[in-house]
Amino acid sequence: MNRMFLLILAFGLLAALSVSAITAEEIVKNVERNEINEEERIDGSMIISDRFGSRVKTFISYAAGADKMLLEFTNPEERGQKILRLEDEIYLYFPEAEEVIHLQGSALKESVMGSDFSYEDMTGEGDLLDQYEVTLLGEETIEGRKHYHLELKAKKRGLAYPKQEAWIDAETWVMTRANAYSLSGRLLKEMELGDIRVVAGKYVPHYIIMRDAMKKKSSTEMRIQAIDLVAELPPDIFSLEELTW
Amino acid sequence: MKLARIAFRNIRRNRRRTLLSGTAIMIATMFITFAFSLIAGMLGDIESNIVRYVSGHVRIRHMEYDENEELNPLHLSVTEYEEVVREMEADEEVMAAVPRTRFFTAIYRNDRTYGGMGLGVDFEREKNVMKIQDAIEQGRLPQKGQKEMVLSAGLAEELDLEVGEKLTLLTKNKYLGMSGMTFTVTGIVRFLVAGFNESFFLMPIDTTARFLKMSDEATEVLVMLNDSKRVDEFAEKATGILTAMDRDNLSAQPWTSIGASVGWMQLARSAYDVIALVFFILASTVIVNTTMMVIFERMREIGTVAAMGMTPREIVRLFFIEAFYIGAIAAFIGVLLGIGITIPLSKVGIDLTQSMQGVDLEINPVVYPRLNIRSTVFVFFYSTIIASLASFIPSRRAAKIEPVEALRSV
């Protein structure tokens, strides 16, 4: 009887060891390594659905690392409008405006093109591990695949989301689901990623569905039509001077 | 008949007493007459401002606009508005028909954003409706098709902006995407309504359409009628016109059924009803007090007439007739004086700018009293009746006292 008890205990310890074989910090680093590219160009679209129906906005986006991003809308209604992100700063360019708009404060919480994404969602949160206390809550199987379930708690005030939950595919290091909460624990946003394809040796989700829990009957699907991870981007593309050209 | 003669003689006999009593009634009546005219002027102002600035006499909008209004649904618009405006203008009952596009916006200036309420208007057509040309304080009105705007004085102050400077607006367009455009401020307007001076700006409706990607659309068409009493009938007629035009997606609403406007009017009426009640109570107190005092002072006289054989009933009637005569004459003069004050002030107005500061009502700071015949006639009868009835209490009491006791009192 005692031998049986020891055996069960040993198996239990082994199981516990296998869970903690990888730390939450390592998982986050793997996600960032897969997610962040030195240079990329994406041709994409946003399908925004709400009580008034669905609308499609198309765009081309360029990114370099985690801090620089330029998005230019190509659909007829907003053709030529650009959003530039430089670290945590957001700048907007409108062809009919004579100045570049530097978004600040509460304006960052505004939705991008009436979608479920806010400008704040587009700003870099820098190194996730610098900003959040990360805890591995366990492993879960989602659609037959092993996932790590992480909890991220903000280390400082002023971040867009004080608390987040994320589910990371244990094989591809792609975050396939994430929920963002307010300080009081109220659900703010739900995100779902899928259609994961291998591009230049990296796992790239080709759609993101974002739901703003504050909006009724609203969701935004962002789709990648084409992606180039070895694009050679023009020099100074991520500058305020280039933005107005 | 005999009592009436005695009452009239009494009035003439003690002129000072009659004058005192009559003057009090006259002043109180004049005060109520004027106060009623002032309140009528203020309510008329609110109505006129709501109609001119907000709703028109009849407002034409997309059927679904109102229920989504807080979302600024520019796609729920009056398409090809010129056609609708022309059809309305063609009706003989219509004084003017104006297209307007309302939109919320963020105003970007010096790295800061401010909230604003934009109004795209046809400046030419608005000459007889909003009368923006009369409100221009500095500069000029924007030109059609130009990226120009006029700012309300309060907004210009908040933004620290002067005529000739530029500012950039950000807003949600018809496709619920973003639009940004830079405009030159050509003028600063000071509207008579305080609420419009805080966050409003106006621009040409065609420029607004370009900014909001709306082509020939407006969020509403407002119709002003020659006869403001026919709003309900014309709203029905307008619905018929829209149906004949195959524009069933549009609805025509009389301003009296528009929630916000009705709410404003009800709020204003309630506020003024309270003020009127206070005036009434004050004036009534003066009339009742004076009448009663005058009778109480005449105890010896009451004792004398009672000793001479006049019955208590006759004494009460005598004082009632006296009070009625004085009341009727004083109220008549008071009403005339009230009218005399109201008529010139209804032309020059009363400037309440100082006392209206910080009051966010749809009311002009210069109030023009309006004489209302019905309420003036009512005030005359009210004052007369109150003065007459006020005589009952003291005279009944006095009539019950024994003549000897009444003669003893001073």
Give the pLDDT band of residue B328 (cuts 50, 70, 90): very high
Residues of A with CB under 8 A from a CB of B: 48, 50-52, 55, 57, 73, 75, 77-78, 81, 92, 94, 96-99, 101-102, 104-105, 107, 112-114
Whether residue B211 lies within 8 A of chain A, CB to CB, comes out as yes
From chain B, the residues in CB contact with A98 under 8 A are 166, 168, 182
Q: What average pLDDT does chain B have? A: 87
Of B75, B168, B175, the CB nearest to A98: B168
Give the per-residue pLDDT at A123: 65
My answer on whether B80 and B34 are in the same domain is no
Confidence check: pLDDT of B147 > 80: yes
Q: Which amino acid is at B274?
A: V
Q: Are B76 and B64 a contacting pair, CB within 8 Å?
A: yes
Q: What's the pLDDT score for residue A213?
A: 93
Provide the pLDDT for residue B361. Answer: 56
**E strand segments, A51-186:** 53-64, 68-73, 82-86, 89-93, 101-103, 132-142, 145-154, 163-169, 175-181
**Residues of chain A whose pLDDT is less than 50?**
1, 6-7, 9-19
Q: Is residue B390 part of a domain?
A: yes
Distance of alpha carbon B248 from alpha carbon B353, whole angstroms:
45
Which residue in the set B75, B176, B181 is minimally distant from A94, CB to CB? Answer: B181
Cα–Cα distance measured from residue B180 to residue A95, given in angstroms and rounded to the nearest whole number: 8
Residue to test with chain A: of B67, B71, B173, B175, most A Cβ within 10 A: B175
Paired sense of beta strands B178-189 and B148-152, if any: parallel
| Partners of residue A107 in chain B, C-beta under 8 Å | 106, 113
Phi/psi of residue A60, each to 5°? -120, 130
Sequence length of chain B is 410
Which pair of structure tokens corresponds to residue A97?
Answer: 């405006």
Query: In this complex, is the C-beta atom of B109 within 8 Å of any C-beta atom belonging to chain A?
Result: no
Q: Is residue B257 part of a domain?
A: no
Based on the fold, state whether residues B33 and B72 are members of the same structural domain: no
Q: How far is it, in rounded angstroms, from Cα A132 to Cα A164?
A: 9
Tell me if B55 is assigned to some domain: no
| Shortest distance, CA B265 to any CA of chain A (angstroms) | 33
* Residue B312 buriedness (CB in 10 A; 0-12 / 13-18 / 19+): middle
Whether residues B182 and A101 touch (CB distance < 8 A) is answered with: no
Predicted confidence at residue A19, as pLDDT, reads: 47
Same domain for B169 and B43: no
Residue B155 lies in a domain: yes
Separation in Å, CA of A92 to nearest CA in chain B: 9
Angle B173-B214-B122 (CA atoms, 0-180°, nearest 5)?
115
CA distances from B301 to B1, B265, B288, B308, B320 (A): 20, 54, 20, 11, 15
Backbone φ and ψ for B227, nearest 5 degrees, come out as: -115, 105
Q: Using CA atoms, how far apart are residues A74 and A44, in angstroms rounded to an integer?
A: 10
Please name the member of A50, A77, A101 whose beta carbon is closest to the beta carbon of B177. A77
Closest by CA to B132, choosing from B190, B86, B92, is B190
CA A148 – CA A138 distance, rounded (Å): 6
CB B391 within 8 A of CB B322: yes
Q: How many CB atoms are located within 10 Å of the residue B85 CB?
A: 23
Name which of A47, A113, A218, A243 to mutate to probe chain B: the one with the most chain B Cβ atoms within 10 A of its Cβ. A113
Contact flag B181-A48 (C-beta cutoff 8 Å): no
B111 contacts A96? CB cut-off 8 A: no
**Minimal-distance CA residue of chain A relative to B184:** A98
Q: Is B116 on the interface with A (CB under 8 A)?
A: no
Tell whether B146 lies on the interface with A, counting CB pairs under 8 A: no
Cβ-defined contact of A77 to B106 (cutoff 8 Å): no
Please state, in angstroms and rounded to a whole number, the distance separating the CA atoms of residues B255 and B252: 10
Residues B332 and B398 in one domain: yes
Rounded CA gap, B120 and B205, in Å?
4
User: Based on the domain organization, do B28 and B70 belong to the same domain?
Assistant: no
How far apart are alpha carbons B24 and B188 in whole angstroms?
A: 49
ipTM over 0.85: no
Are B168 and A97 inside 8 Å of each other by CB? yes
Number of structural domains found in chain B: 2
Q: Where are the alpha helices (DSSP H) in B113-244?
A: 132-135, 153-159, 196-199, 205-211, 231-244
Total-model pTM:
0.76
Percent of chain B past pLDDT 90, that is, above it, reads: 44
A202: phi then psi, degrees, rounded to nearest 5: -120, 155
If asked whether residues B8 and B81 sit together in one domain, one would say no
Is residue B330 included in any domain, yes or no? Answer: yes
Pairs of residues, one from chain A and one from chain B, whose beta carbons lie less than 8 Å apart = 69
Which of A146-160, B26-40, B265-279 is predicted with the least confidence, judged by mean pLDDT?
Answer: B265-279
pLDDT at B301: 78
**The two structure tokens encoding residue A233:** 């981007």
Among the partner residues B73, B178, B182, nearest to A78 by beta-carbon distance: B178
Helix, strand and coil percent figures for chain A, each rounded to 5: 20, 45, 35
From the list B113, B175, B181, the residue facing A55 with the nearest CB is B175
Q: Do residues B273 and B159 both lie within one domain?
A: no
CA distance, residue B99 to nearest chain A CA (Å): 24
Report residue B228 as tokens. Answer: 């403001």
Q: What is the mean pLDDT of residues B103-131?
A: 91
CA B96 to chain centre: 22
Q: What pLDDT shows up at residue B83?
A: 95
Q: What is the pLDDT of residue B84?
A: 96
Would you call A32 exposed, middle or buried from its count of C-beta atoms within 10 A (0-12, 13-18, 19+)? middle
Tell me if B328 sits within 8 A of B384, measured CB to CB: yes
Report pLDDT digits (tens) over B329-373: 999 999 999 999 999 998 888 887 666 665 555 566 788 888 888
- Minimum distance, in Å, between the CA of residue B242 and any CA atom of chain A: 24
Q: How far apart are CA B87 and CA B107, in angstroms?
A: 36
- Chain A within 8 Å of B113 (Cβ-Cβ)? yes
| Cβ-based contacts of B73 with chain A (< 8 Å) | 52
Residue of B nearest to A102 (CA): B111
What's B119-144 look like in SS3? EEECCCHHHHCCCHHHHEEEECCCCC
Q: What number of other Cβ atoms are within 10 A of residue A145's Cβ?
A: 14
Looking at the structure, do residues B347 and B396 belong to the same domain, yes or no? Answer: yes
What lies within 8 Å, CB to CB, of B199 at 6+ separation is B115, B116, B117, B152, B154, B155
Are the Cβ atoms of B181 and A104 closer than 8 angstroms? no
- DSSP letter for A112, please: S
Pairing of strands A68-73, A82-86: antiparallel
Domain that holds residue B133: 64-248
Asked if A104's CB is within 8 angstroms of B177's CB, the reply is: no
More confident of the two residues B248 and B298:
B248
Residues B95, B33: one domain? no
Beta bridge partners of A223: A45, A207
**Per the CB < 8 Å rule, is A104 touching B111?**
yes
**DSSP readout, B97-125?**
EEEEEEEEEEEEETTEEEEEEEEEE-TTG
Which span out of A189-198, B33-42, B254-263 was modeled with the highest average pLDDT? A189-198
The continuous run of DSSP H or E covering B36 comes out as: helix B15-49
**pLDDT given at position A14:** 46
Q: Does one domain contain both B93 and B234?
A: yes
| B-chain residues near A102 (CB < 8 A) | 111
List helix spans (H) across chain A: 2-19, 24-35, 119-122, 128-131, 240-243
B279 has a pLDDT exceeding 60: yes
Higher pLDDT, A181 or B395: A181
CA distances from B254 to A108, B57, B225 (A): 41, 6, 11
Contact A51, A217 (CB under 8 A): yes
B184 interface with A at CB cutoff 8 Å: no
| 3-state SS, residue A132 | strand
Look at residue A16 in the predicted model and tell me its pLDDT. Answer: 47
Distance from CA of B375 to the nearest CA of A (A): 51
**B240 in the same domain as B106:** yes
Nearest to A57 among B73, B174, B177 (CB): B177
Distance CA B297, CA B287 (A): 16
My answer on whether B283 and B240 are in the same domain is no
- Residue of chain A minimizing CA distance to B171: A113
The lowest-confidence range among B213-217, B283-287, B374-378 is: B283-287
With respect to residue B331, please indicate whether it lies within any of the assigned structural domains: yes
**Among B146, B176, B183, the residue to mutate for chain A (most A Cβ within 10 A):** B176
Q: Which of A48, A90, A101 to mutate to test the interface with B (most CBs of B within 10 A)?
A: A101
Q: Could you tell me if residue B386 is inside a domain?
A: yes
Residue B381 lies in a domain: yes
B173 touches chain A (CB under 8 A): yes
Domain boundary pick from B213, B248, B283: B248
Maximum Cα interatomic distance, chain A, rounded to a whole number of Å:
83
Which one is predicted more confidently, B287 or A59? Answer: A59
- Specify the CATH number of the domain A22-229: 2.50.20.10
CB atoms within 10 A of CB B141: 22
The per-residue pLDDT for B383 is 86
The contacts of residue A158 (CB under 8 Å, 6+ apart) are none
Q: Which residues contact A191 (CB under 8 A, 6 or more apart)?
A: A177, A178, A179, A180, A208, A209, A210, A211
Q: For residue A185, what are the contacts with CB-CB under 8 A and spacing of at least 6?
A: A163
Sign of CA dihedral B313, B315, B321, B324: negative
Contact (CB<8Å) A97/B180: yes
Domains in chain A: boundaries:
22-229
